[in-house]
Amino acid sequence: MNNAWHHPDQLLVRMKEEDWSGPGVNLKGAFNCLLKAAAKSIISEAFRTIINISSIVVGSWQPRPGNYVASKARAGGTHQSAARELASRHITVNAVAPGFIETAMTQNLPEKVREAMLAQIP
């Protein structure tokens, strides 16, 4: 799964190198689940759609934590690249980016950030 990593929320200038590479599971998950497993298993199927979970932080104003945002953006690029590559085999690839969800990861966000994210929901 490419959305399975819980990140520490800290500024890039305070982040250690191992913290930066921590969310690599987002990209590895997209590669292993999306490209290796799903695409190979459905090439001969009649219904060929891959739906992956993304994040609202891709392309959003959310600046922190930079390692999480960067990893989600890289996974998003993987989705787009896979969609173009697999289109010739009549396989569609889509990424769903849910809006703000109350989770353990979001419960410690500052109230101002939470309010700004909730204000974006129609």
Q: Of 25, 20, 13, which Cα lies nearest the Cα of 53?
A: 25
- Cα torsion 60, 56, 86, 49 to 10°: value is -150
19 counts as catalytic: no
Q: Which one from 52, 68, 71, 117 is the annotated catalytic residue?
A: 68
Contact 65, 55 (CB under 8 A): no
Length of the chain measured in residues:
122
Q: Which residues are catalytic?
A: 68
